[in-house]
Amino acid sequence: MRVAAIMSLALAAATGRASAQGEIARERADFVRWLAAAPTSPLATVAQQPIGRGVRLGPADADIPLAGVPAHIVAPRSGGIGLEGPGVSRLMPRGLPVRLRGYTLTVDGPAGREVLTVFGPRHAAKQPAYYPATPGFAFVGRLLPPEHRGTVRLLGVDGIEVEAAEAGSVIVSMGGARTRLRVRRLPSPGGEESELEIFFRDGTNGRTTYPAGRFVSLVPAPRGRYRLDFNRARNPFCAYSSAYACPAPWQGNTIPAAVTAGERYHADSAGASELAP
Amino acid sequence: MLLAGLAAAPAPEGPWRAVLDLEGGMLPFTLELARGSHGRSGRLCNGTRCEPLSTVELHGDSLTLGIADYAATITARLAGDSLTGTFRNVGNRGPRVIPFRAGRGRWPVTPAPAWLVGRWDATFFSDFGSSPRVFEFRNGAQGLEGTMISNTGDYGHFAGRMAGDSFTLAHFDGSFVYLLAGACHGDTLRGVFHAGLRTETPWIALRSTGAPHLKRPTEITGADTSAPFRFAFPDLDGRMVTARDPRFRGKVVLVDIFGSWCPTCHDQAPVLVDLYRKYHSRGLEIVGLAYEVTGDSAVDARQVRRYRDKFHIPFPLLLAGINDVDAAQATLPQLHGFTSFPTTVFVGRDGRVRLVHAGFYGPAMGAQHARLVKEFAREIERLLAEKG
């Protein structure tokens, strides 16, 4: 009976979403444009560092050397995190970009454990690469309740710590095996929004996809069900720049098959660039 | 031949029934586009409440609507009587894109049935736990409308539609994307609250019995009352203003913790101005502590000046910090559990905190707004009557 119950809750292959491939193509195009041009794109990241008691920017011997920038300090002060330097003394709002002589700075993360990210004026000439969208990697089904309710601190896609809630699990059948994938709810900064996320590893890691694993969102579907589309799997930002911390793998979330869908390890401008096993 | 090939340029002017297609539902709102001697303009409306668009540009059949306050745009292709495109704003983790479409005309007005009108005590069930909300539904000039209230304030004005026993109420302002969908099941309402493209929170609501369902706004933030309340921040001209200044000595002081970016603070500002005009001669002082968006004091001072001028605020406004609850809490260590903008601290003639009111019920709350304004006045009168 127990097996039968789980069977009925397992995600079934999704059918009948003719528009999904078009949506995926548009999402990918939007993301590629954002990566290529946004001031806070991970392709422009110079450094990401916990602020702690303070981070010194600018000269060659600073914590983060920045060409053409005189010494500045980002450090806690009354009212939040401050930026101090020649002619500058200001607070850094959480999550919003602050310009500093051609560079862009953001402060994020929970109070007391803030992280500074520094973006440079130039974007690396890299493009994300994708497997062609394939309907066979999309599933629809129910979310099983979590074994333990509660929250856990972990790193999100951008290497920033968030307090995530255990949301449950889904079961997918791939490569002849059934794998239970842990699902967590990651809050977005500000407002009421959040995402159901799965950080998973699979047989492609280290060969055609990023070794640390990939994120994929679980999306609500009609009648209390959810859609899991591995064509939307994406790299953590640590795949674009070694400045980012990589999230630790989530216990158990390893699919014993090659998920040849979603984002691959990005190619550089000279052509495909795959990691050796 | 060339002339014959030129089609008449499409004209987007007029009202549009617009929709954001969320993963789990359709969020309706209204766009009103116009063309005058100064070019194109437009408004984004939730029922009777409208906000101006910052830019309206048409190039060929490509329409771009700017919502500058939130660095957001709606881009759409105009084809006859339809618009199809996307709403997008930019975050630090990638673009946020929600499908958008619209047809010419206005949404039909659907009145709220008697069984729905009134106050409901709701419980939201999320992975982070359950939490209380209150719904206020009523009939307005454009049918069903209302708002939703949490422990820290209301979510602004929602415009609604009925379909049999089901209803939806929506609020879209270019930043917040909220859709409350529900249906009646006997004496219970059940539904889903949608935030953004795909965050869905189930809820259940029962008609309010009148007993408190939310935390009282005066029980959310505590204060150290063992010593006089202290603050020291620069005003908009850079002069330091502190709680020990002579102007506050022996006075009843309202400390308004606000931000020029905060819609509920805009609701509260005219109320504070009225109270100041009424009670200043009897010993009331008000001081606003602004927690602003950029942290750049020149930019923030400009925003706060605009706020001051908009509401003709006669009392001092100080630049206290940035709009971050944790950062604000750090600047005011005598408060405990600071959660929301605005928060109003009532200080007695002896300089000690008597009451901390978290949040504010804006005009979208109808009778509760009026009741709260009276409560503020009553509390001020009570404190003015105390001996210094």
pLDDT per position as a tens digit, B3-13: 444 556 678 99
Domain boundary among A101, A119, A137: A119
- The residues that bridge with B150 in the sheet, in sequence order, are B153
Looking at the fold, whether B222 and B266 belong to one and the same domain comes out as yes
Looking at the fold, whether A146 and A264 belong to one and the same domain comes out as yes
Q: State the Cα angle at B280 between B378 and B362, rounded to 5°.
A: 50
- Residue B4 inside a domain? The answer is no
Residues A81 and B322: their CA atoms lie apart, in Å, by 10
SS3 category, B274: helix
On the question of pLDDT at A246 being above 60, the answer is yes
Q: Any chain B CB within 8 A of the CB of A150?
A: no
Domain boundary among A95, A119, A143: A119
Residues A233 and A139: their CA atoms lie apart, in Å, by 13
The helices-and-strands tally (H runs, E runs) of chain B is: 4, 27
Q: Which domain holds residue A208?
A: 2-38+127-268
Domain boundary among B185, B207, B229: B207
Looking at the fold, whether A194 and A151 belong to one and the same domain comes out as yes
SS3 category, A54: coil
**Closest CA relative to residue A119, chosen from A37, A43, A32:** A43
Looking at the fold, whether A15 and A90 belong to one and the same domain comes out as no
Per cent of chain B over pLDDT 70 is 96
pLDDT per position as a tens digit, A84-132: 999 888 888 887 788 899 999 999 988 888 999 999 999 998 889 999 9
Those of residues 199-228 in B touching chain A at CB distance below 8 A are 199-201
- Residue A64 inside a domain? The answer is yes
Q: What residue type is assigned to position B233 of the chain?
A: F
CATH code for position B231: 3.40.30.10
- Residue B1 inside a domain? The answer is no
The confidence score (pLDDT) of residue B106 equals: 95
Residue B158, phi then psi, degrees to nearest 5: -115, 135
Looking at the fold, whether A29 and A67 belong to one and the same domain comes out as no
Looking at the fold, whether B368 and B235 belong to one and the same domain comes out as yes
The confidence score (pLDDT) of residue A267 equals: 45
Looking at the fold, whether B201 and B268 belong to one and the same domain comes out as no
Q: Which domain holds residue B26?
A: 14-104
Looking at the fold, whether A235 and A164 belong to one and the same domain comes out as yes
Q: From edge to edge, which strands make up the β-sheet containing B49-52?
A: B49-52, B39-46, B25-36, B14-22, B94-104, B82-91, B72-79, B62-67, B55-59
CATH code for position B27: 2.40.128
Q: Any chain A CB within 8 A of the CB of B348?
A: no
Contact B321 A91 (CB under 8 A): yes
A128-142, A175-189, B144-158: least confidently modelled range: B144-158
Looking at the fold, whether B242 and B376 belong to one and the same domain comes out as yes
- Residue A275 inside a domain? The answer is no
Looking at the fold, whether A15 and A86 belong to one and the same domain comes out as no
Looking at the fold, whether A24 and A60 belong to one and the same domain comes out as no
Whether residue A197 contacts residue A218, with contact meaning beta carbons closer than 8 Å, is answered with: yes
Looking at the fold, whether B203 and B231 belong to one and the same domain comes out as no
Q: How far is A150 from chain B (nearest CA, A)?
A: 7
The helices-and-strands tally (H runs, E runs) of chain A is: 2, 19
**Closest CA relative to residue B366, chosen from B142, B119, B171:** B119
On the question of pLDDT at B217 being above 80, the answer is yes
Whether residue B341 contacts residue B134, with contact meaning beta carbons closer than 8 Å, is answered with: no
Average pLDDT for chain B: 91
Nearest-Cα residue of chain B relative to residue A219: B198
Looking at the fold, whether A20 and A149 belong to one and the same domain comes out as yes
CATH code for position B138: 2.40.128.120
For residue A131, give the DSSP letter.
P
Q: How far is B202 from chain A (nearest CA, A)?
A: 10
Looking at the fold, whether B150 and B97 belong to one and the same domain comes out as no
Structural domain count of chain A: 2
Residues A237 and B388: their CA atoms lie apart, in Å, by 60
On the question of pLDDT at A269 being above 70, the answer is no
Average pLDDT (A216-234) is 91
On the question of pLDDT at A14 being above 80, the answer is no
- Residue A276 inside a domain? The answer is no
- The residues that bridge with B364 in the sheet, in sequence order, are none
Which residues from A are below 8 Å from B196, CB to CB?
Answer: 188, 191-193
The confidence score (pLDDT) of residue A15 equals: 53
pLDDT per position as a tens digit, B288-326: 999 987 788 888 899 899 899 989 999 999 999 888 787
| Residues 6+ positions from B350 with CB-CB distance below 8 Å | B228, B386, B388
Average pLDDT (B140-155) is 87
Nearest-Cα residue of chain A relative to residue B200: A220
- Residue A163 inside a domain? The answer is yes
Looking at the fold, whether B54 and B130 belong to one and the same domain comes out as no
Strand pairing class (B62-67; B72-79) = antiparallel
Looking at the fold, whether B318 and B361 belong to one and the same domain comes out as yes
**Which residue from A31, A80, A193 is facing B195, i.e. has the nearest CB?**
A193
**Computed from CA positions of residues B330, B334, B340, B341, in that sequence, does the dihedral angle turn out positive or negative?**
negative
Q: Any chain A CB within 8 A of the CB of B296?
A: yes
On the question of pLDDT at B131 being above 50, the answer is yes
pLDDT per position as a tens digit, B74-101: 999 999 899 999 998 767 788 888 999 9
**Which residue from A26, A80, A95 is facing B92, i.e. has the nearest CB?**
A95
The confidence score (pLDDT) of residue B367 equals: 79
A117-126, A136-145, B147-156: least confidently modelled range: B147-156
The confidence score (pLDDT) of residue B299 equals: 84
Domain boundary among B58, B73, B104: B104
Average pLDDT for chain A: 86
A4, containing H or E segment: helix A2-9
Cβ burial A264-277 (10 Å sphere, 16+ → b, else e)? bbbeeeeeeeeeee
Average pLDDT (B265-282) is 95
Structural domain count of chain B: 3
Which residues from B are below 8 Å from A40, CB to CB?
Answer: 92
Looking at the fold, whether B169 and B241 belong to one and the same domain comes out as no
Looking at the fold, whether A63 and A77 belong to one and the same domain comes out as yes
The confidence score (pLDDT) of residue B2 equals: 44
Looking at the fold, whether A59 and A20 belong to one and the same domain comes out as no
Looking at the fold, whether B275 and B376 belong to one and the same domain comes out as yes
* pTM attached to this predicted model: 0.77
Q: What residue type is assigned to position B5 of the chain?
A: G
Tell me how far the alpha carbon of residue B272 is from its chain's centroid.
17
Which residues from B are below 8 Å from A219, CB to CB?
Answer: 23, 198
**Which residue from B94, B327, B330 is facing A34, i.e. has the nearest CB?**
B94
Residues B284 and B241: their CA atoms lie apart, in Å, by 17
Which residues from B are below 8 Å from A167, CB to CB?
Answer: 127
Q: How far is A166 from chain B (nearest CA, A)?
A: 7
Q: How far is A7 from chain B (nearest CA, A)?
A: 24
Looking at the fold, whether A148 and A203 belong to one and the same domain comes out as yes
A22 φ/ψ sector (left φ>0, alpha ψ -120 to 50, else beta): alpha
Residues A161 and A42: their CA atoms lie apart, in Å, by 16
Average pLDDT (A211-231) is 91
Nearest-Cα residue of chain A relative to residue B197: A193
Looking at the fold, whether A111 and A93 belong to one and the same domain comes out as yes
More reliable by pLDDT, B249 or A3: B249
Which residues from A are below 8 Å from B178, CB to CB?
Answer: 192
Domain boundary among B50, B76, B104: B104
Q: What is the ipTM of this complex?
A: 0.75
Looking at the fold, whether B267 and B156 belong to one and the same domain comes out as no
Which residues from A are below 8 Å from B322, CB to CB?
Answer: 79-80, 91-94
pLDDT classification of A271: cutoffs 50, 70, 90: very low
The confidence score (pLDDT) of residue B89 equals: 79
- Residue A274 inside a domain? The answer is no
Domain boundary among A73, A96, A119: A119
Looking at the fold, whether B23 and B171 belong to one and the same domain comes out as no
Residue B25, phi then psi, degrees to nearest 5: 175, 175
